[in-house]
Structure 1
Amino acid sequence: MAKRNTLLIVLAFFAIYVIWGATYLLNKIAVTELPAFMLAGTRFFVAGLLIFGIAKLSGRSLKISKKQFINTIIAGFLFLTFGNGVIVWALKYVDSGFAALEVSAQPLVVLLLMRILQGKKIQPMSLVGVGLGIIGIYLLVSQKQIITQDGAVMGMVLIFACMLSWAYGSLFVGKADLPANYFVNTGYQMFTGGILLFVISLLLDEQWISPVAWSTPVQWSMFLLIIFGSIVAFTSFNYLLRVVSPEKVATSSYVNPIIAMLLGWYFLQEEITAQSVVAALVLLTGVYFINTKKRLTLFSRFSSSKIKPLK
């Protein structure tokens, strides 16, 4: 493990807990004014360019093979173009806290996909987690005050489709030939993912809005998403993987949705129902059971070569 620095570790945990939890709020604020795919494309394209600049200044080589470049395009599409861009689109129809809580079931989706595609046996403790996760998701999406809102059901389905994309992408990067340096790898994924998001935006005939015409809240949201959500938090995540145990890093899966729900309630007056609280407790307990030490070790294998969902 790398040399431990207590202050850096504390700051890094703050980043993956609070900053990543806050990205749901920031995306929700921005998407109320900007087209979803143009928004996501701008965020990742600019973040990718900045990462390239930082990599060059720090002496890292940006040279990669043709196969690695193709694989970063595939990973960028699965994680960012589809996996993130569509979730941003879904935020037009669902609350940010609701989206974060639904996304927290990602380990369940990964586990089931591993069973279906790879024939991996699900351990007894993980089976308990799957059962609790399904119950938690049902409690979450069955609330009448939520499903009766315009477009809410479509938003739920879109988020689930994104979770499938992230799950498959997670399995893909576990075996794909990708740049060895995670910072360079991330830069290529963000850069190419951003370009693909721009292409989709053009195909959907989204109306692009100049940054000078954005409202102040949207300008700040985009700045925070690019600098802190895309660069600072991800760098912190990979730093923590080197200096602390994977199960400690994975605790962000339990904290992010809570942060997102509280911020959505405080800043956007999003409702937190009693059933949502119960669903959160059941669902996150299920995720805890799924994240056995063995499973976490598997996740950590590809964590350094991918970006976390939506953040």
Structure 2
Amino acid sequence: MTSVSVPRPPALLVGGALLSIYLIWGSTYLASKTALTACPPMLLSGMRFLLAGAVQYGVVRLSGAAAPSRQDWQRAALAGFCLLLCGNGGTTFSQQYIPSGLAALLVASVPMFLALLSWVSGLTPRPTVPVTVGLLLGAVGMYLLASTRISGDVLIPGHVPLGIAAVLIASFMWSIGSLLSKQKPVGGSPFLGVGMQMLCGGAFLLLGALVRGEAASFQLANVTLKAGLAFGYLIVFGSWIAFSAYIWLLRMVEPALAGTYAFVNPVVAVLLGWAFAGEELNPQMASGATLIVLAVMLVVLGGRRSRPQPAAEATPEPHLAVKK
């Protein structure tokens, strides 16, 4: 697709869009943990994305967007499997066993996985020195977090290694899904593509919930007002507003600037978990968090290379925006 010249957006709008992504995506970890008190993980994520995807897909189609092809649905299904079933579903699953702040910090490994996978697959050149240093710092930071004794409130205590393993595998699969979405994007309207991914991912998650027997354990009477509000927050703010802001940023600013959410969200999640959920913030966690934030900054910003501008440059694909 040929690049289209767009006017430079007002700094106030850019700042507002960035702030919404920083705060909303950083707060969805605590919202997920709250909603998990009333609903099992895969069923929660499945209902969230099916509802959000159905509304978004319907609105975009009714606004005049062309019907997607069979190939578009296949690509959306592949992205939904990696990004939502494995990525978001795995992260939500992990929050039964570890604090939401720790889950967010471990999810900050996504840019590091992306840097390694992009290099190994030949999509990008060998990592620069700052990126390499960032990868090493990130590995040390994740070790510090993984070896931390957890004493904060968790839904199912005594299974910290399982929670850590789940979120790291989820982050790895999210990275694979992001690369697949970039290489084989869904055609047509980007907003329609995101809705299709949410529909497909939500269907996979719901199927997984049925296989695990989660539907049988769910009781509507157990849904408290607090859990219901958290679920609505995930749909309205997490699955619509923040995604839309991120898509707009990808079109208006450098992708590296839009990607700074990766090292701001963990800080927001840790502070919210500490302030409202009684989650522990000890020196070892603080040290690991600092190393991971610094590592992601090096990976994201150190990977920027000066390249000659081609005559026609592809518009950044917004499908990477489908997040936790």
SS of 2:293's equivalent in the other structure is helix
How far did 1:3 drift?
5.3
Query: Which amino acid is 1:162 matched to?
Result: A
Q: Partners of 2:239 and 2:55 in 1: how far apart?
A: 10
Query: Which amino acid is 2:321 matched to?
Result: I
Aligned to 1:49: 54
How far did 1:114 drift?
2.5
Q: Partners of 1:273 and 1:303 in 2: how far apart?
A: 39
Q: Partners of 1:17 and 1:260 in 2: how far apart?
A: 10
Q: Partners of 1:67 and 1:38 in 2: how far apart?
A: 27
State whether structure 2 residue 234 is matched by structure 1 residue 225.
yes
Aligned to 1:157: 165
How far did 1:231 drift?
0.6
Structure 1 residues 302 and 79: CA distance shift in structure 2, 3 A = farther
How far did 1:138 drift?
1.1
Structure 1 residues 159 and 302: CA distance shift in structure 2, 3 A = farther
Aligned to 2:189: 181
Q: Partners of 1:70 and 1:271 in 2: how far apart?
A: 43
Query: Which amino acid is 2:210 matched to?
Result: L
Give 2:175's match in structure 1, choosing from 167, 172, 177. 167
How far did 1:296 drift?
8.6
SS of 2:320's equivalent in the other structure is coil
Give 2:210's match in structure 1, choosing from 202, 207, 211. 202
Aligned to 1:29: 34
Aligned to 1:251: 260
Question: What does 1:1-311 align with in structure 2 at a 5 Å threshold?
Answer: 1-2=6-7, 4-61=9-66, 63-118=67-122, 120-145=125-150, 150-207=158-215, 209=218, 213-292=222-301, 294-295=303-304, 303-310=317-324
How far did 1:195 drift?
0.8
Query: C-alpha deviations, 1:101-155, integer Å up to 9, x for none?
Result: 01011111112222333384122221111111111111111113469x5111001
Aligned to 2:311: none
SS of 1:144's equivalent in the other structure is coil
Query: C-alpha deviations, 1:64-93, integer Å up to 9, x for none?
Result: 111111010000010001111121111000
Greater mean deviation of Cα atoms: 116-125 or 172-181: 116-125
How far did 1:255 drift?
1.2
How far did 1:277 drift?
1.1
Structure 1 residues 140 and 294: CA distance shift in structure 2, 3 A = closer
Q: Partners of 1:248 and 1:262 in 2: how far apart?
A: 23
Percent identity over paired residues: 31
Q: Which runs of 5+ in 2 are unaligned?
A: 1-5, 308-313
Under a length normalisation based on structure 2, what TM-score does the superposition of the two structures give? 0.88
CA contact (8 A) 1:79 1:307 kept: no
CA contact (8 A) 1:40 1:85 kept: yes
The root-mean-square deviation of aligned C-alpha atoms, in Å, is 2.3
CA contact (8 A) 1:247 1:293 kept: no
Structure 1 residues 295 and 64: CA distance shift in structure 2, 3 A = farther
Query: Which amino acid is 2:209 matched to?
Result: S
How far did 1:272 drift?
0.7
Structure 1 residues 38 and 295: CA distance shift in structure 2, 3 A = farther
Q: Which runs of 5+ in 1 are unaligned?
A: none
CA contact (8 A) 1:211 1:219 kept: no
Under a length normalisation based on structure 1, what TM-score does the superposition of the two structures give? 0.91
How far did 1:222 drift?
0.7
CA contact (8 A) 2:182 2:320 kept: no
Query: C-alpha deviations, 1:249-289, integer Å up to 9, x for none?
Result: 22211210111011111111101111111111111111111
Q: Partners of 1:307 and 1:245 in 2: how far apart?
A: 14
Query: Which amino acid is 2:262 matched to?
Result: S
How far did 1:301 drift?
6.3
Q: Partners of 1:92 and 1:180 in 2: how far apart?
A: 38
CA contact (8 A) 2:194 2:322 kept: no
CA contact (8 A) 2:185 2:317 kept: no
CA contact (8 A) 1:67 1:177 kept: no
CA contact (8 A) 1:26 1:222 kept: yes
Greater mean deviation of Cα atoms: 233-242 or 93-102: 233-242
Q: Partners of 2:280 and 2:303 in 1: how far apart?
A: 37
Consecutive aligned runs of 4 or more in structure 1 exceeding 6 Å deviation: none
Q: Partners of 1:296 and 1:82 in 2: how far apart?
A: 31
